[in-house]
Structure 1
Amino acid sequence: MKQKKASRHADATPHAAALIEGLRDIGYSLETAISDIIDNSITAGARQIRIITETSVDEPFIAVVDDGSGMTEDELVAAMRPGSRNPLSPRDAPDLGRFGLGLKSASFSQCRRLTVVSRKVGKTSAAIWDLDDVAIRNEWMVQLPDDISGSPGIDELGNTGTLVLWQKLDRLTGGMSHNAVKRAEIINRRIAEAERHLRLVFHRFIETPKRLSIELNGRQLLPLDPFATSNPATISDPEEVLSLNGSEVKIKSFTLPHHRQMSTTDWEDIAGPEGHLKSQGFYLYRGERLILHGTWFGLCRQSELSKLSRVRIDIPNSMDADWKIDVKKSSAQLPPVVRDRLRNVIERIQNGSKRTYLKRGQKMVDNKRLPMWNRILADDKIHYKPNIDHPAFSAFADSLPPDLRRGFLNCIALVGASLPVEALHADMAGTPEQIVPDSVDEDTLDQAVKATLSVLLGANKDINEIMALMKDVDPFRSAWDGTQRIIAATIGSKEKK
């Protein structure tokens, strides 16, 4: 029997300078890079995390200080090693890590000098990766300085905990490294943009201050709950549990309130810079840490009528491979079995979102509520026409001679035919919350209220029912104080007679 020749081996150790520069371009943004550092702090049991920035000095820096368990020198050196953990290795439930690359790749994406100082059991250890030094030596050698007393942020470190310090912020200066004012302006703007991301990604941790507090330059960050669970008008479905490979996927659907049921500040806050249309969809959490949001995973399209729909999906860190969580912990893919279940969830919760909008619209066209406009569905097309039977129109038309009455009704029909459908569609697709009914003057309101009141009283409806009917439709709803005053004066004068 012929024996196989033994394989030869060749040294394939990567060049330190080349590979470590490559780690800079995995695709981190400032907000995802800071989030990765915070993940490590949470895994270390931190209860307080402080982000400190100094941008106006000659050598600007960003520091993240926590009060976690800290590391010994051996543990620190291991943590500074690229690929310090195998992603296939089991992790404790609170562990937010993934590949053992986060600390290094996140830091290198923003700076050329990473210093980590950690304090554990009364002993302080420090290690430094300086990419300029690696470029010269071309060796996988981390610096272990004896004296770190002058390091920015070192005074913020407590009895236990870790300081992560970024210096040589070449990726954040926007090419303005020689213009201190412009450089500070650019970095400060980027940090301000990152603030909302941190409030959102870690909102479930900081909703309970005793669990975790995150500060940015001395100011505590407030949680940003994308589901508005504290608003009583938010609709939430029961949680569903799906078993997958011995672990559980938890799914909970929410329908946000209509914008008229929230303050403008809260509405804009949960919408974010891209608006509610781009914020609808699935919100994937790994260990309560937000991984991905504002996507339907290709199962449906984002639409105006479904923009109030949001679905929270919770997975444990043991399912990283199933969901293909990436290094940055900012993207994922649906496992096939979950995809099938979510199709049903989408149909149900999108119907809920549509009802929230349509419910308000239907009040306008409900015959019991004296609509100013009629919604007509014919030949698969929807038309809106002014309701010529509305008391405000019919009472005035009846007071006119026949020739003038015909001209008046023609004018009303012309207004309906000139409805700017395209402009309304464009506005509703963009900023529907900015579309409001036009106001009417006192004389117009007086005429409309008295005409409507006369018809409703003639139909033997009591005053409470009349008030409820009129409060639901414009122009009365938008001028309710004036409407109430006119009703009271009209009723009072009738009673005196």
Structure 2
Amino acid sequence: MDDRDGVRGPVVRRGMTDWQFDVPTSGSKRLRPDARYMDALTSQGYGFEVAIADLVDNSIDAGAQDVVVHFLRDGDHLVSLLVVDDGAGMDESALDVAMTVGGRRDYAADALGMFGTGLKSASLSHATALTVVTKTKRSRPIGRRWRMEQARTDFLCDIVEPDYAQTLLDRYADRPITWQGTVVRWDGVKDFPKHGDLGQTDRYLHRVIDKLGLHLGLYLHRFLARPDFNITIAVEDVRSGVVYMEYGVEPLDPFGYPMPGRPGYPREFRANLGDVGELPLAAHIWPAKSSMPEYRAHGSVLERQGFYFYRNDRLVQAGGWNGFRQPEQHFSLARVAIDLPVHSGDLFRLTVKKAGVETAPIFAVAVEESADGDGRAFVDYLGDAEGAYREARKRAGVERKPVIPPGMGFEPALRKAMDAELPFVEGEEPVSIRWRFIDADTFFELDREDHVIYLNQQYRPTLLGGRPGGLNDLPLLKALLYLLLHKVFESEMQGPRERDNLALWQSILVAAAKSEMGLIES
């Protein structure tokens, strides 16, 4: 180095001029995983509902149509939890791969599984023992069992006795297993009450099953909306065989509002991701002040807004802006549905628990520069969402009075829309609407005691205009009548003004119906 003129020359590191690009080796040595590897595998923060959802993903990948999440109790004590499906099952080699710690298999492009760790890490995060019993149409029943204390020491997986494997599968014959299927059994579940009385166990079950139903209903809502897929949650006493609870999980569509919060929505924006191509962004605005579980059932107001990522129709992130912007109260009505591309390189990285997506910086830039078919920018969508929120805040001083809810005879979608707009009186018999033959000069009759609106059957064929009738027919007519008449059932007395209104509506509706039938000349 010469610094006589203040200039430093190049530094030569002696002995490094013979750099080898390939590292030479002189053999191999097998190093067994440390016992703490299992603790690391099972300490990834799997929540209870997330872990069960991971097992149901496996059932879906196996082509299951029916999945049962079964809590087993012995009196006051919960003893086991099982996830049972009627999927294709596994043969011996496939089961060994599934139960191998770090075992990987080739996943189809549309599979929900990705990493090959979910069954083990999700299960052993919550149970001290994991048993899997399975059967295909062409193979005999087989089973494997991991016990946590054994997995920590020697990585030996137990082989389940074939007779027991058959017995366990037979226990679920036709509910849901027919010719094939899989049973995943958890024992020593850490969250189960240890020394609870009957009341504590029941309270635990109600709380956990409610949360589990909401989680499965949300993250698997596209599958549950299909007519050929069902999830049932049940509780059974192992001694008496009594089933204490049994209910089907309902889909909870985070975009399932009856009417958008802003006209013209949803709108599709397209984000340019370079080599990956254009990514559609389905931008939605929820109606303000919605009480629907699809809007309120998960997370806080700040957590629910933002991006909803789907992978192969499975929701993998419910809300959050992924660095695009900070969550704020006035964007609480904004939700964007995004179906992840099959091949996206490192742009999107799914977490192992499938409960979040990490996005590359280019994603936020692409969203900001995205536009819809009319040339509207994504920032305009955010402005519309904010405007819908602020307009609703201005109307917040107007409080709607609770009403008796609609019941039988009203189309489900109509009842859903009314539920989103109106607070309902709790504990009251709903207002139903039915058809029957009554006097020709009467369009409707009211049964105030039983909350029934009877419509005149004589006018029904004309109003239907040749369309087939049914229990929930003519929703527009029924909606208008409900809005006119619901107050009649909410008041104890009929005053002169109310009686006059009823006579007025009766007269005009009869005249309109007869005119529709051609019985009154213009």
For the residue of structure 1 that corresponds to 2:362, the secondary structure is helix
Which segments of 5 or more consecutive residues in structure 2 lack a partner in the other structure?
1-17, 235-245, 371-377, 397-421, 424-496, 502-522
Q: Tell me the matched-pair count.
A: 358
Question: Does the Cα contact within 8 Å between 1:56 and 1:184 map onto a contact in 2?
Answer: no
Which residue in the other structure is 1:97 paired with? Answer: 113
Give a deviation string over 1:57-87, Cα, whole Å, max 9, x none: 545211111121111122111111122226x
Distance 1:293 1:347 in 2: 21
Residue type of the alignment partner of 1:190: V
- Structure 2 vs 1, CA of residues 249 and 43 (structure 1 numbering), >3 Å: closer, same or farther? farther
Q: 2:185 aligns with which of 159, 165, 172?
A: 165
Q: Which of 317, 329, 332 is residue 292 of structure 1 equivalent to?
A: 317
* Contact 1:250/1:315 (<8 A) preserved: no
Match for 2:256: what amino acid? A
1:315-357 Cα distance to aligned partner (Å, 9 max, x none): 1454474312121111221123322122246523221112223
Match in the other structure for 2:65: 47
Bigger relative contact order (CA 8 A; separation at least 6): 1
Give the alignment partner of residue 256 of structure 2, picking from 228, 247, 254. Answer: 228
Q: Which moved more, 1:195-204 or 1:118-127?
A: 118-127
Residue of structure 2 in register with 1:78 after alignment = 97
Distance 1:320 1:46 in 2: 30
Supply the distance in 2 between the matched residues of 1:249 and 1:62 (Cα, whole angstroms).
40
1:274-313 correspondence runs (5 A) = 274-313=299-338
In structure 1, how many angstroms separate the alpha carbons of the residues matched to 2:343 and 2:79? 38
| Greater Cα shift, 44-53 or 222-231 | 222-231
Question: 2-side partners of 1:2 and 1:277: how far apart?
Answer: 54
Alignment-derived partner of residue 373 in structure 1: none
Deviations 1:235-283 (A, max 9, x none): 2002536456547633210011123xx5x3x2x4421253434311111
1:302-451, aligned counterparts within 5 Å?
A: 302-319=327-344, 321-344=346-369, 347-359=379-391
TM-score normalised by structure 1 residue count: 0.64
Quick one: distance in 2 between partners of 1:109 and 1:129? 12
Would you say 1:195 and 2:225 are equivalent positions?
no
For the Cα contact (< 8 Å) 1:102–1:328, is it kept in 2? Answer: yes
Is the 2:78–2:201 Cα contact (8 Å) retained in structure 1?
A: no
**What's the secondary structure of 2:365's corresponding residue?**
helix
Closer, same or farther: CA 166–316 of 1 in aligned 2, 3 Å: farther
Query: What is the CA distance between 1:167 and its match in structure 2?
Result: 1.2
Which residue of structure 2 aligns with residue 67 of structure 1?
Answer: 86
Residues 9-37 of structure 1: CA deviation (Å, up to 9, x unaligned): 3332203x432233221110011101111
Residues 344/245 of structure 1: CA separation in 2 closer, same or farther (3 Å cut): closer
Does 2:122 align with 1:106?
yes
Residues 118, 126 of structure 1: 8 Å contact kept = yes
Residue 21 (structure 1) aligns with: 39
Q: In proportion to residue count, which structure has more helix?
A: 1
> Structure 1: which 5+ residue stretches go unaligned?
365-432, 435-484, 490-497
Distance 1:354 1:48 in 2: 42
Asked if the contact 2:150–2:156 (Cα under 8 Å) also holds between the matched residues in 1, the reply is no
Amino acid corresponding to residue 222 of structure 1 in structure 2: E
Letter in 2 for 1:78: V
Which of 287, 312, 327 is equivalent to 1:257? 287
Q: Is the 8 A contact 1:248 1:315 kept in 2?
A: no
Task: Report the alpha carbon displacement of residue 359 of structure 1 after superposing the two structures with TM.
Answer: 4.2
Q: 1:139 and 1:132 mapped to 2: Cα distance?
A: 9
CA displacement 1:109-129 (0-9 Å, x = unmatched): 111111111121153221111
User: Match for 1:115 among 128, 131, 138?
Assistant: 131
Query: What CA distance in whole angstroms lies between the structure 2 residues aligned with 1:325 and 1:99?
Result: 10
Q: Does 1:12 align with 2:19?
A: no
Using the alignment, how far apart are the partners of 1:180 and 1:360 within structure 2? Answer: 47
Shift of the 354–283 alpha-carbon distance from structure 1 to 2, 3 Å rule, reads same
Measured at CA, do residues 248 and 131 of structure 1 come closer, stay the same or move farther in structure 2, by a change above 3 Å?
Answer: farther
Alignment of 1:149-188 (within 5 A): 149=166, 151=168, 154-155=172-173, 156=175, 157-170=177-190, 172-173=191-192, 176-179=193-196, 181=198, 182=200, 185-186=203-204, 188=206
Letter in 1 for 2:189: L
* Aligned CA distance change for structure 1 residues 249 and 139 (closer, same or farther; 3 Å): same
In 2, the alpha carbon distance for the partners of 1:189 and 1:8 equals 56
How many angstroms apart in 2 are the aligned matches of 1:108 and 1:363?
51
Contact persistence 2:288–2:392 (CA under 8 A): no
Q: Contact between 1:59 and 1:168, CA under 8 Å: does it hold in 2? A: no
Q: 1:5 to 1:150 in 2, by over 3 A?
A: closer
Shift of 1:299: 2.1
Q: How many angstroms apart in 2 are the aligned matches of 1:132 and 1:143?
A: 16
Q: Is residue 333–residue 389 contact of structure 2 (8 Å, CA) maintained in 1?
A: no
Match of 2:13 in 1: none
Percent identical pairs in the alignment equals 27
Deviation at 1:2, TM superposition (A): 12
1:147 aligns with 163
How big is the alpha-carbon RMSD for the aligned residues of Structure 1 and Structure 2?
Answer: 3.4
Superposed CA deviations along residues 218-245 of structure 1, whole A, max 9, x for unmatched, are 3111111111254365620025364565
Distance 1:355 1:305 in 2: 8
Query: Equivalents in 2 of 1:75, 1:179: separation in Å?
Result: 39
TM norm structure 2? 0.61
Give SS of 2:101's match: coil
Q: 1:220 to 1:320 in 2, by over 3 A?
A: farther
Tell me if 1:126 matches 2:158.
no
1:237 corresponds to:
267
**Cα deviation per residue 1:103-148 (whole Å; 9 max; x = unaligned)?**
111111111111111121153221111223434x623334232222
| Residues 1:333 and 1:110: Cα distance change in structure 2 (over 3 Å) | same
1:357-395 Cα offsets, whole Å, 9 max, x none, are 34456789xxxxxxxxxxxxxxxxxxxxxxxxxxxxxxx
Match of 2:404 in 1: none
- Between the aligned partners of 2:88 and 2:167, the Cα distance in structure 1 is 23
Is the 1:292–1:331 Cα contact (8 Å) retained in structure 2?
yes
Q: Would the aligned equivalents of 1:247 and 1:316 in 2 still touch at CA under 8 Å?
A: no
Letter in 2 for 1:119: K
Counterparts in 2 of 1:146 and 1:286: CA distance versus 1, 3 Å: same
Q: Does the CA-based 8 Å contact 1:93-1:316 persist in structure 2?
A: no
Distance 2:273 2:327 in 1: 28
